Amino acid sequence: MTILDKILQQKELEVQELKAIYSGLEAEPLKKRPSLYDQFMGSSNMNVIAEVKRASPSKGMINQDVDPVAQAKAYATAGAGAISVLTDRTFFKGSMADLSAVAQAVEVPLLCKDFMIDEVQIDAAKEHGASIILLIAAALPEARLKELYDYAESQELDVLFEVHNEEEAETALRVGAKIVGINNRNLKTFEVDLAVTERVASLLQQTDRLLISESGMKIAEDVERVREAGAKGILVGETLMRAEDIQQTMNNFRIPFTKVAK
Ligand SMILES: O=P(O)(O)OC[C@@H](O)[C@@H](O)c1c[nH]c2ccccc12
Protein backbone atom coordinates (compact mmCIF):
# COMPACT_ATOMS: atom_id res chain seq x y z
CA MET A 1 0.00 0.00 0.00
CA THR A 2 1.40 3.44 -0.93
CA ILE A 3 1.45 6.33 1.53
CA LEU A 4 -1.25 8.02 -0.53
CA ASP A 5 -3.48 4.95 -0.09
CA LYS A 6 -2.87 5.05 3.66
CA ILE A 7 -3.72 8.73 3.85
CA LEU A 8 -6.91 8.23 1.84
CA GLN A 9 -7.96 5.37 4.09
CA GLN A 10 -7.55 7.63 7.12
CA LYS A 11 -9.57 10.35 5.33
CA GLU A 12 -12.53 7.98 5.01
CA LEU A 13 -12.67 7.81 8.80
CA GLU A 14 -12.35 11.57 9.20
CA VAL A 15 -15.15 12.16 6.70
CA GLN A 16 -17.50 10.06 8.83
CA GLU A 17 -16.68 12.24 11.84
CA LEU A 18 -17.06 15.46 9.87
CA LYS A 19 -20.43 14.39 8.53
CA ALA A 20 -21.75 14.10 12.05
CA ILE A 21 -20.77 17.74 12.66
CA TYR A 22 -21.36 19.49 9.36
CA SER A 23 -24.26 17.87 7.57
CA GLY A 24 -26.88 20.46 6.77
CA LEU A 25 -24.74 23.33 7.95
CA GLU A 26 -24.36 26.28 5.58
CA ALA A 27 -20.75 27.42 5.82
CA GLU A 28 -20.13 31.15 5.94
CA PRO A 29 -16.75 32.48 4.83
CA LEU A 30 -15.06 34.42 7.63
CA LYS A 31 -13.93 37.14 5.30
CA LYS A 32 -13.79 37.87 1.62
CA ARG A 33 -10.30 37.36 0.22
CA PRO A 34 -8.72 38.54 -3.02
CA SER A 35 -8.87 36.07 -5.91
CA LEU A 36 -5.71 33.99 -6.16
CA TYR A 37 -6.25 33.73 -9.90
CA ASP A 38 -6.58 37.46 -10.59
CA GLN A 39 -3.73 38.36 -8.30
CA PHE A 40 -1.25 35.84 -9.70
CA MET A 41 -2.20 36.39 -13.34
CA GLY A 42 -1.68 40.13 -12.99
CA SER A 43 1.64 40.02 -11.18
CA SER A 44 5.00 40.95 -12.67
CA ASN A 45 7.01 38.84 -10.21
CA MET A 46 6.89 35.16 -9.32
CA ASN A 47 4.06 34.55 -6.85
CA VAL A 48 4.65 32.47 -3.77
CA ILE A 49 2.11 30.35 -1.93
CA ALA A 50 3.86 30.00 1.40
CA GLU A 51 2.98 26.91 3.40
CA VAL A 52 2.63 26.29 7.12
CA LYS A 53 3.94 22.74 7.37
CA ARG A 54 4.94 21.23 10.69
CA ALA A 55 5.88 17.79 9.42
CA SER A 56 5.46 15.47 6.46
CA PRO A 57 5.58 11.74 5.81
CA SER A 58 8.66 12.20 3.62
CA LYS A 59 10.67 14.53 5.88
CA GLY A 60 9.35 13.69 9.34
CA MET A 61 9.39 16.64 11.71
CA ILE A 62 10.13 19.97 10.02
CA ASN A 63 9.09 22.49 12.67
CA GLN A 64 6.57 20.95 15.02
CA ASP A 65 6.41 23.79 17.53
CA VAL A 66 5.88 26.52 14.98
CA ASP A 67 3.33 29.17 15.89
CA PRO A 68 1.17 29.06 12.74
CA VAL A 69 -0.11 32.60 13.23
CA ALA A 70 3.35 34.14 13.65
CA GLN A 71 4.61 32.11 10.70
CA ALA A 72 1.70 33.15 8.47
CA LYS A 73 2.06 36.81 9.44
CA ALA A 74 5.76 36.65 8.62
CA TYR A 75 4.91 35.13 5.23
CA ALA A 76 2.35 37.83 4.46
CA THR A 77 4.69 40.63 5.53
CA ALA A 78 7.45 39.17 3.39
CA GLY A 79 5.20 39.32 0.32
CA ALA A 80 3.59 35.90 0.02
CA GLY A 81 0.76 36.06 -2.52
CA ALA A 82 -1.16 33.38 -0.67
CA ILE A 83 -0.79 31.12 2.33
CA SER A 84 -1.29 27.37 2.53
CA VAL A 85 -2.03 25.63 5.80
CA LEU A 86 -1.65 21.87 5.99
CA THR A 87 -4.60 20.68 8.02
CA ASP A 88 -4.02 16.92 7.97
CA ARG A 89 -3.39 15.79 11.52
CA THR A 90 -2.22 12.20 11.21
CA PHE A 91 0.51 12.56 8.62
CA PHE A 92 1.36 16.29 8.62
CA LYS A 93 0.64 17.29 12.26
CA GLY A 94 -1.62 20.14 11.19
CA SER A 95 -5.19 20.96 12.15
CA MET A 96 -8.32 22.88 11.26
CA ALA A 97 -7.56 25.01 14.32
CA ASP A 98 -4.31 26.09 12.62
CA LEU A 99 -6.34 27.11 9.58
CA SER A 100 -8.87 29.18 11.57
CA ALA A 101 -6.16 30.91 13.54
CA VAL A 102 -4.28 31.84 10.37
CA ALA A 103 -7.53 32.90 8.68
CA GLN A 104 -8.12 35.48 11.37
CA ALA A 105 -4.57 36.80 11.19
CA VAL A 106 -4.03 37.39 7.44
CA GLU A 107 -5.98 38.84 4.51
CA VAL A 108 -4.30 37.02 1.60
CA PRO A 109 -5.92 34.08 -0.27
CA LEU A 110 -5.82 31.01 1.97
CA LEU A 111 -5.45 27.39 0.91
CA CYS A 112 -6.74 24.50 3.01
CA LYS A 113 -4.13 21.86 2.17
CA ASP A 114 -5.64 18.46 2.72
CA PHE A 115 -6.70 15.33 0.90
CA MET A 116 -10.26 16.04 -0.17
CA ILE A 117 -12.48 13.06 -0.89
CA ASP A 118 -15.87 14.41 0.18
CA GLU A 119 -17.97 17.59 0.03
CA VAL A 120 -18.09 17.76 3.80
CA GLN A 121 -14.34 18.48 3.93
CA ILE A 122 -14.90 21.38 1.54
CA ASP A 123 -17.63 22.70 3.86
CA ALA A 124 -15.24 22.39 6.80
CA ALA A 125 -12.46 24.20 4.91
CA LYS A 126 -14.81 27.08 4.12
CA GLU A 127 -16.11 27.19 7.67
CA HIS A 128 -12.52 27.53 8.92
CA GLY A 129 -11.77 30.45 6.62
CA ALA A 130 -10.16 28.97 3.51
CA SER A 131 -10.72 30.59 0.11
CA ILE A 132 -9.02 27.80 -1.86
CA ILE A 133 -9.11 24.02 -1.61
CA LEU A 134 -6.79 21.38 -3.04
CA LEU A 135 -7.93 18.54 -5.28
CA ILE A 136 -5.36 15.86 -6.01
CA ALA A 137 -5.87 14.09 -9.34
CA ALA A 138 -4.13 10.93 -8.10
CA ALA A 139 -6.54 10.59 -5.17
CA LEU A 140 -9.88 10.05 -6.89
CA PRO A 141 -11.55 8.89 -10.10
CA GLU A 142 -12.16 11.65 -12.62
CA ALA A 143 -15.94 11.72 -12.20
CA ARG A 144 -15.55 12.31 -8.46
CA LEU A 145 -12.91 15.00 -9.03
CA LYS A 146 -15.32 16.80 -11.33
CA GLU A 147 -18.11 16.63 -8.74
CA LEU A 148 -15.89 18.03 -6.00
CA TYR A 149 -14.51 20.69 -8.34
CA ASP A 150 -18.02 21.86 -9.23
CA TYR A 151 -19.08 21.72 -5.60
CA ALA A 152 -16.16 23.93 -4.51
CA GLU A 153 -16.97 26.43 -7.26
CA SER A 154 -20.62 26.47 -6.18
CA GLN A 155 -19.34 27.41 -2.72
CA GLU A 156 -17.30 30.24 -4.28
CA LEU A 157 -14.02 28.60 -3.40
CA ASP A 158 -11.05 28.48 -5.76
CA VAL A 159 -9.56 25.08 -6.54
CA LEU A 160 -5.90 24.23 -6.87
CA PHE A 161 -6.03 21.10 -9.01
CA GLU A 162 -2.89 19.05 -8.44
CA VAL A 163 -1.31 16.86 -11.09
CA HIS A 164 1.94 14.94 -11.32
CA ASN A 165 2.06 13.48 -14.84
CA GLU A 166 0.75 13.85 -18.37
CA GLU A 167 -2.30 11.66 -17.81
CA GLU A 168 -3.39 13.71 -14.79
CA ALA A 169 -2.81 16.89 -16.81
CA GLU A 170 -5.34 15.58 -19.33
CA THR A 171 -7.76 15.05 -16.46
CA ALA A 172 -7.21 18.65 -15.35
CA LEU A 173 -8.06 19.82 -18.87
CA ARG A 174 -11.26 17.77 -18.98
CA VAL A 175 -12.34 18.89 -15.51
CA GLY A 176 -11.80 22.47 -16.68
CA ALA A 177 -9.34 23.44 -13.93
CA LYS A 178 -8.27 27.08 -14.16
CA ILE A 179 -5.55 26.79 -11.53
CA VAL A 180 -3.32 23.76 -11.96
CA GLY A 181 -0.60 22.78 -9.50
CA ILE A 182 2.15 20.60 -10.89
CA ASN A 183 3.58 18.66 -7.97
CA ASN A 184 7.25 17.91 -8.43
CA ARG A 185 6.98 15.35 -5.64
CA ASN A 186 5.54 11.95 -6.41
CA LEU A 187 3.08 11.31 -3.57
CA LYS A 188 3.63 7.56 -3.88
CA THR A 189 7.45 7.45 -3.84
CA PHE A 190 8.29 10.97 -2.46
CA GLU A 191 10.79 11.45 -5.26
CA VAL A 192 11.16 15.16 -6.16
CA ASP A 193 12.17 16.28 -9.64
CA LEU A 194 11.65 19.77 -11.11
CA ALA A 195 11.68 18.19 -14.57
CA VAL A 196 8.10 17.14 -13.77
CA THR A 197 7.02 20.80 -14.09
CA GLU A 198 8.93 21.18 -17.35
CA ARG A 199 7.33 18.07 -18.84
CA VAL A 200 3.77 18.49 -17.63
CA ALA A 201 3.56 22.29 -18.14
CA SER A 202 4.04 21.89 -21.86
CA LEU A 203 0.64 20.16 -22.01
CA LEU A 204 -1.10 22.89 -20.06
CA GLN A 205 0.09 26.01 -21.86
CA GLN A 206 -2.93 28.17 -22.44
CA THR A 207 -3.01 31.86 -21.77
CA ASP A 208 -5.91 31.75 -19.32
CA ARG A 209 -4.61 28.88 -17.18
CA LEU A 210 -2.67 29.62 -14.01
CA LEU A 211 0.20 27.17 -13.46
CA ILE A 212 1.74 26.67 -10.04
CA SER A 213 4.85 24.56 -9.52
CA GLU A 214 4.71 22.72 -6.19
CA SER A 215 7.40 21.22 -3.96
CA GLY A 216 11.17 21.02 -3.85
CA MET A 217 11.94 24.72 -4.34
CA LYS A 218 15.18 25.54 -2.52
CA ILE A 219 17.12 28.23 -4.39
CA ALA A 220 16.48 30.98 -6.94
CA GLU A 221 17.76 28.76 -9.77
CA ASP A 222 14.94 26.29 -9.04
CA VAL A 223 12.44 29.11 -9.42
CA GLU A 224 14.05 30.28 -12.67
CA ARG A 225 13.65 26.78 -14.04
CA VAL A 226 9.93 26.55 -13.36
CA ARG A 227 9.41 30.14 -14.51
CA GLU A 228 10.91 29.18 -17.88
CA ALA A 229 8.46 26.26 -17.97
CA GLY A 230 5.55 28.68 -17.60
CA ALA A 231 4.79 28.67 -13.86
CA LYS A 232 3.24 31.89 -12.55
CA GLY A 233 3.45 30.71 -8.97
CA ILE A 234 5.32 28.35 -6.68
CA LEU A 235 4.16 26.50 -3.59
CA VAL A 236 6.90 26.39 -0.97
CA GLY A 237 6.79 24.60 2.37
CA GLU A 238 9.97 23.20 3.83
CA THR A 239 12.42 25.85 2.63
CA LEU A 240 10.33 28.63 4.19
CA MET A 241 9.64 26.64 7.36
CA ARG A 242 13.38 26.21 7.90
CA ALA A 243 14.40 29.69 6.70
CA GLU A 244 16.37 31.80 9.14
CA ASP A 245 15.26 34.91 7.29
CA ILE A 246 11.83 34.55 5.69
CA GLN A 247 11.99 37.96 4.00
CA GLN A 248 15.32 37.19 2.39
CA THR A 249 14.17 33.77 1.18
CA MET A 250 10.98 35.28 -0.21
CA ASN A 251 12.95 37.99 -2.02
CA ASN A 252 15.12 35.32 -3.63
CA PHE A 253 12.03 33.53 -4.91
CA ARG A 254 10.05 36.54 -6.14
CA ILE A 255 11.98 36.84 -9.41
CA PRO A 256 10.57 39.04 -12.17
CA PHE A 257 8.82 37.57 -15.22
CA THR A 258 10.08 40.18 -17.61
CA LYS A 259 13.77 40.63 -18.22
CA VAL A 260 15.15 43.73 -16.56
CA ALA A 261 16.80 46.06 -19.12
CA LYS A 262 20.47 46.65 -18.50
O1 LIG B 1 7.83 21.37 1.39
P2 LIG B 1 7.90 21.57 -0.09
O3 LIG B 1 8.83 20.58 -0.77
O4 LIG B 1 8.23 22.98 -0.45
O5 LIG B 1 6.43 21.26 -0.69
C6 LIG B 1 5.31 22.10 -0.42
C7 LIG B 1 4.04 21.51 -1.02
O8 LIG B 1 4.16 21.49 -2.41
C9 LIG B 1 3.77 20.11 -0.49
O10 LIG B 1 3.56 20.25 0.88
C11 LIG B 1 2.57 19.41 -1.12
C12 LIG B 1 2.21 19.46 -2.44
N13 LIG B 1 1.09 18.74 -2.66
C14 LIG B 1 0.69 18.20 -1.49
C15 LIG B 1 -0.42 17.42 -1.21
C16 LIG B 1 -0.61 17.05 0.11
C17 LIG B 1 0.29 17.40 1.11
C18 LIG B 1 1.40 18.19 0.83
C19 LIG B 1 1.60 18.60 -0.48
Domains and CATH numbers, the chain: 40-253 (3.20.20.70)
How many angstroms does the Cα of residue 260 sit away from the middle of ligand 1?
31
Span 130-142, average pLDDT: 98
Helix (H, G, I), strand (E, B) or coil at 85: strand
Q: Residue whose CA is closest, atom 10 of ligand 1?
A: 237
According to the model, what pLDDT value does residue 64 have? 87
The answer on pLDDT for 30 being more than 70 is no
How many angstroms does the Cα of residue 24 sit away from the middle of ligand 1?
31
What are residue 230's DSSP bridge partners? none
According to the model, what pLDDT value does residue 141 have? 98
According to the model, what pLDDT value does residue 24 have? 63
Greater pLDDT, 260 or 231: 231
According to the model, what pLDDT value does residue 206 have? 79
Report CA torsion sign: 77, 33, 49, 190.
Answer: positive
CA dihedral in degrees (26, 17, 86, 62; nearest 10)? 160
The answer on pLDDT for 136 being more than 80 is yes
Answer for the pair 55, 95: CB distance below 8 angstroms, yes or no: no
How many angstroms does the Cα of residue 247 sit away from the middle of ligand 1?
20
The answer on pLDDT for 260 being more than 80 is no
Q: What is the DSSP string of 132-147?
A: EEEEEGGGS-HHHHHH
Out of 56, 200, 217, mutate this one to test ligand 1's pocket (max ligand atoms within 8 Å of CB): namely 56
Torsion region of 84: left, alpha or beta (phi above 0 gives left; psi -120 to 50 gives alpha) = beta
According to the model, what pLDDT value does residue 97 have? 97
According to the model, what pLDDT value does residue 217 have? 98
Task: Collect all residues with Cβ–Cβ distance below 8 Å to 139 and sequence separation of at least 6.
Answer: 4, 8, 115, 116, 117
* % residues pLDDT > 70 (the chain): 95
Beta-carbon count within 10 A of 207 CB = 5
| Cα angle, residue 84 at apex, residues 64 and 178 outer, rounded to 5° | 155
Reported as a single tens digit per residue, the pLDDT across 38-92 is 999 999 999 999 999 999 999 999 998 999 999 999 999 999 999 999 999 999 9
Q: Confirm whether the ipTM is greater than 0.90.
A: yes
The radius of gyration of the chain from alpha carbons, rounded to an integer in Å, stands at: 17
The answer on pLDDT for 29 being more than 60 is no
CA neighbor of 259 nearest in space, from 45, 41, 81? 45
CA dihedral in degrees (50, 55, 61, 62; nearest 10)? 0
Q: Which residues have any ligand 1 atom within 6 Å of their CB?
A: 51, 53, 113, 136, 162, 183, 214-217, 235-239
Q: pTM for this structure?
A: 0.96
According to the model, what pLDDT value does residue 239 have? 98
* C-alpha to C-alpha distance for 88 and 68, rounded to whole angstroms: 14
Axis crossing angle, helix 195-204 with helix 166-175, rounded to the nearest 10: 40
* C-alpha to C-alpha distance for 120 and 259, rounded to whole angstroms: 45
Of all helices (H) and strands (E), which one includes residue 180? strand 179-183
Span 102-114, average pLDDT: 98
Mean of per-residue pLDDT scores for the chain? 95
How many angstroms does the Cα of residue 153 sit away from the middle of ligand 1?
23
* % residues pLDDT > 90 (the chain): 90
Length of the chain: 262
Using the atom order of ligand 1, give the atom closest to the CA of residue 216: 3
